Structure 1
Amino acid sequence: MLSDNATVSDAATRAAATIEDSRLAAVARYDILDTPPDGPFDRVAALAAKLLRAPVATVSIVDADRIWFKATHGLHGVTEIERAPGLCASAIQQEEPYVVTDALTDPRTAGNPLVHGEMGVRFYAAAPITTSDGHRLGTVDILDTRPRQIGQDELDTLRELAGVVMDALELRRSAQLTLRKERRARGQMERITSALQRSLLPPSLPSVPGLEVACHYHAASPAEVTGDFYDVFALGGGRWAFFLGDVTGHGAQAAAVTSLTRYTLRAAALHSQDPAAVLAELNAALLLDPNVPQHCTVLFGLLRPEPTGGFEITLAGGGHPPALRTHSGSGVVEEIFPGGMLVGALPDAEFESCRLHLREGQTLLLYTDGLTEARPRGEFFGEEGLKAFLASHPTTSASEQISELTGLLAGFDPGPTDDVALLALSVKSPTS
């Protein structure tokens, strides 16, 4: 019996070693260890501390024998600690967030030197940074010197921030691969950049009960990554959120800001029912790093189905062109312009919102200025040109409107010099 137990134990040890070897290979794949501070990761740590009201937050990577901090907030002069015994090393052993509400009484941490040492850690919560193939590289975590509880919404926020870090790592790795491939074969650049651009957009839009949602993305140049973005996602309780915007500039830095913007909006929407407050959180996030010159324009909205049919929409603006509401068959085009200032430009920026109702036969269109700033046949298209086109091409659904606009873009000569993102929403008829 002893021999059988030893055999089982040896097999388990070998299996664990194989899993850890694969995980360390994944860490090496992202080539992130011992790299200098980086704005997107620093902003995630600062956001974690702010949103979860914690004095210390880190973005940590678990190496073979150490915990290395890619970013810290409230923890000065420390870049790494020993792996064992370590909170982060324990946190990556499970898929779900790891929470210690009172480290002095929790048997998992009662003997940890971080608890009894100078830091005096009493509370710890961490969400794993997980690759698409299931390897947990490290954590986004928060620490406090007092015991406390944490709610599900806060854990969801922590999980979203860990997703932001993973997106940034993927984006960074994609950029590195792009540079290496460019040295070997210039001809591959367009295909790789196009794939990177697609990674900044949702692969598909969700099915929203009672609503038709359609989108289109027109890349002005397949060889350059730009910063247009959009998304639609559920908030629970029948509520939905949507946004569309444009980051200034081009290239990898604009793409990194785009990734941070999308996931900051998603995280903020989980705990705020005020679209203007969501934009204010994004503004604060973009301003955390003064070395990042990018700002963006955004329309952010919340959808709520109405008992009598249709949807109530609360729409907030951050320096973006107005949305347009069209009425099928009538040729009427309304500007929906909540106002608001550029996001990420000023610390005291103000954001405004408005309410509207979307009824059957109406479509709400959001677009980026690559469309209105185009110059087909040398003439500025402009917002008036767009409204005139929509008035002369009345449609009954979001998909029809996007189809008409896609045809319009295809006919521009010369084509738009900037990317164009389109997002349209329309109420489905009860019989559809």
Structure 2
Amino acid sequence: MCRTDQSVPEPNEEQDVDATDAVFTSLLEDSVEELYEHAPCGYLSTLMDGTIAKINTTLLDWLGLERAQVVGRMRFADLLTVGGKLYHETHFAPLLQMKGEVSGIALDIRAVGRQRMPVLVTSKVKTSQDGEPMLIRTTVFDARDRRAYEAELLRGRKAAEEARRQSEADRIRLQEALAVLQQSLLPAELPAIPGLEARSHYHTASPDLLGGDFYDLFPLDDRRWAFFLGDVCGKGPQAASVTSLARYTLRAAALHDADPITVLTTLNTVLHERYASGEARYCTAVFGVLQLADGHVDVHLASGGHPPALIQRADGSADYLPTPGGLLIGILPRAPFAAARARLLPGDTLLLYTDGLTEARTGRDRELYGEDGLHAFTATQPPAGPQALITALSGLLTDFGDGLDDDTALLALGIPSTLPTPASEDLP
């Protein structure tokens, strides 16, 4: 067996540690320098007058310049576009001098091929231990993606604003068209009747929806006038088609036979036959005849499921004209209707209305206004005729605000109060 006397040296732990530290220090120095030169953003240091003393490779690559062209030969402002230089001199540099630091300022540099490159710049003044400014360290961030995003966002905002304006214009045009169509379903104005005053009002709950309320007043002969007021179930074009059919049917039926129950029966037949095969369409309505006489007007009316008419008397009292039992018009092939009669004297006013008025919601608890509320309101109004009553009620409808969610039609008919006889002149 062979044996050697050559000894193996003992490891020196201190030497190994020193060697390892040296390696890590070298690597760290290389890493720091590498990070500075090839960072994802630009770095540069300038003297206080703006002369560039140090610049990293990233920023040089953006600029398309060599280090020798820049260091000691150019100022930071020379890297900027004309607009950027102006902003730097008037805002950036004075603000940096006052505060010692500025952050996130948007500028444009002259990139490769003299292309404009948007950047965000942050600068900070380095001072000595005595507080004296020594140099300016600046970080330059590539803002091309951000500018593109902002431009896209701006285009999106402009497109959204244009769409909003177009939508608003379309909505206004639609409202105008609906208003014209709504007016075509109502008389342009009520006729003048000797010895009788007539006033009407239509309150639209929403200008974006076509309502189904309707009314009319027209002559039958020299002494008789027909009137009606109704409310079609639903809104929109379908309701408008029913409204149109109901108006012309009532006028035509009245000219053939003006008996109120007969007229409503004819309307019921027409609506039921027209819509029996599809979606049911129906309405409520009051139809009546005014018979003019010396000093009074006789009223004969019938109702099909409609709220009762209200009479405001010349003495200030108010009473409903009950028409119980009248069925909705168009539901059944044959329907019962309730008739009533009344006499109007000078100062009396007959009021017809749709249920948008009595079904309005009021107060904090949004209680139903109801027929009792209408009766109490009418009783507090001075008996000054149809015009005064319609004016008061139109103000009431406005006061309901968002508590009024249905269109409301009003029709008031009355005999003016007898005018006082002028005092005779004194005899000489």
Considering the TM-score relative to the shorter chain, is it more than 0.5? Answer: yes
**TM-score normalised according to structure 2 size:** 0.56
For residues 167 and 327 of structure 2, the distance between their equivalents in structure 1, rounded to whole angstroms, comes to 39
For residues 243 and 270 of structure 2, the distance between their equivalents in structure 1, rounded to whole angstroms, comes to 12
Q: Is the 8 A contact 2:357 2:404 kept in 1?
A: yes
For residues 270 and 257 of structure 2, the distance between their equivalents in structure 1, rounded to whole angstroms, comes to 15
Residue in structure 1 matched with residue 371 of structure 2 by the alignment: 383
Residue in structure 2 matched with residue 401 of structure 1 by the alignment: 389
Q: Residue 271 of structure 1 aligns to which amino acid in structure 2?
A: H
Residue in structure 2 matched with residue 313 of structure 1 by the alignment: 299
For residues 401 and 273 of structure 2, the distance between their equivalents in structure 1, rounded to whole angstroms, comes to 41
Q: Structure 1 residues 346 and 192, CA, compared in 2 at 3 Å: closer, same or farther?
A: same
- SS of corresponding position for 1:413: helix
Residue in structure 2 matched with residue 192 of structure 1 by the alignment: 177
For residues 399 and 297 of structure 1, the distance between their equivalents in structure 2, rounded to whole angstroms, comes to 25
For residues 258 and 232 of structure 2, the distance between their equivalents in structure 1, rounded to whole angstroms, comes to 24
Q: Is the 8 A contact 2:265 2:334 kept in 1?
A: no
- SS of corresponding position for 2:401: coil
Residue in structure 1 matched with residue 357 of structure 2 by the alignment: 371
For residues 182 and 244 of structure 1, the distance between their equivalents in structure 2, rounded to whole angstroms, comes to 35
- Deviation sequence 1:131-181 (CA, Å, 0-9, x none): xxxxxxxxxxxxxxxxxxxxxxxxxxxxxxxxxxxxxxxxxxxxxxxxxx9
Residue in structure 2 matched with residue 250 of structure 1 by the alignment: 235
Q: Is the 8 A contact 1:317 1:337 kept in 2?
A: no
* Same amino acid, percent of matched pairs: 49
Alignment map for 1:16-415 (pairs within 5 Å): 185-289=170-274, 290=276, 291-307=278-294, 309-330=295-316, 332-339=317-324, 340-377=326-363, 378-415=366-403
Q: Is the 8 A contact 1:220 1:415 kept in 2?
A: no
For residues 283 and 270 of structure 1, the distance between their equivalents in structure 2, rounded to whole angstroms, comes to 17
- Deviation sequence 1:348-387 (CA, Å, 0-9, x none): 2011212110111211100000001011232211110110
User: How many corresponding residue pairs?
Assistant: 250
Q: Residue 322 of structure 2 aligns to which amino acid in structure 1?
A: F
For residues 248 and 408 of structure 1, the distance between their equivalents in structure 2, rounded to whole angstroms, comes to 23
- Deviation sequence 1:282-331 (CA, Å, 0-9, x none): 00000112124110100100011123x1101101111100000111343x
Identify which range, 185-194 or 388-397, moves more after superposition.
185-194
Q: Residue 346 of structure 2 aligns to which amino acid in structure 1?
A: E
Show structure 2 runs of 5+ residues with no match. 1-165, 421-428
Q: Is the 8 A contact 2:205 2:407 kept in 1?
A: yes
Larger Rg: 2
Q: Structure 1 residues 183 and 389, CA, compared in 2 at 3 Å: closer, same or farther?
A: closer
Q: Residue 321 of structure 2 aligns to which amino acid in structure 1?
A: I
Q: CA RMSD in A?
A: 1.8
**TM-score normalised according to structure 1 size:** 0.56
- SS of corresponding position for 2:396: helix
- SS of corresponding position for 1:269: helix
CA displacement at 1:274 relative to structure 2? 1.0
For residues 184 and 406 of structure 1, the distance between their equivalents in structure 2, rounded to whole angstroms, comes to 29
- SS of corresponding position for 2:250: helix
Q: Residue 233 of structure 1 aligns to which amino acid in structure 2?
A: F
For residues 411 and 183 of structure 1, the distance between their equivalents in structure 2, rounded to whole angstroms, comes to 27
Q: Is the 8 A contact 1:301 1:316 kept in 2?
A: yes
CA displacement at 1:182 relative to structure 2? 8.4
Show structure 1 runs of 5+ residues with no match. 1-180
Q: Residue 409 of structure 2 aligns to which amino acid in structure 1?
A: A
CA displacement at 1:237 relative to structure 2? 2.8
Residue in structure 2 matched with residue 418 of structure 1 by the alignment: 406
Q: Structure 1 residues 405 and 303, CA, compared in 2 at 3 Å: closer, same or farther?
A: same
Identify which range, 373-382 or 198-207, moves more after superposition.
373-382
Q: Residue 313 of structure 1 aligns to which amino acid in structure 2?
A: V
For residues 236 and 370 of structure 1, the distance between their equivalents in structure 2, rounded to whole angstroms, comes to 33
For residues 298 and 376 of structure 1, the distance between their equivalents in structure 2, rounded to whole angstroms, comes to 25
Q: Structure 1 residues 430 and 184, CA, compared in 2 at 3 Å: closer, same or farther?
A: closer
For residues 193 and 271 of structure 1, the distance between their equivalents in structure 2, rounded to whole angstroms, comes to 32
- SS of corresponding position for 2:368: coil
CA displacement at 1:414 relative to structure 2? 2.3
- Deviation sequence 1:58-117 (CA, Å, 0-9, x none): xxxxxxxxxxxxxxxxxxxxxxxxxxxxxxxxxxxxxxxxxxxxxxxxxxxxxxxxxxxx
Residue in structure 2 matched with residue 108 of structure 1 by the alignment: none
Q: Is the 8 A contact 1:182 1:189 kept in 2?
A: no
- SS of corresponding position for 2:214: strand
CA displacement at 1:431 relative to structure 2? 3.8
For residues 413 and 251 of structure 1, the distance between their equivalents in structure 2, rounded to whole angstroms, comes to 22
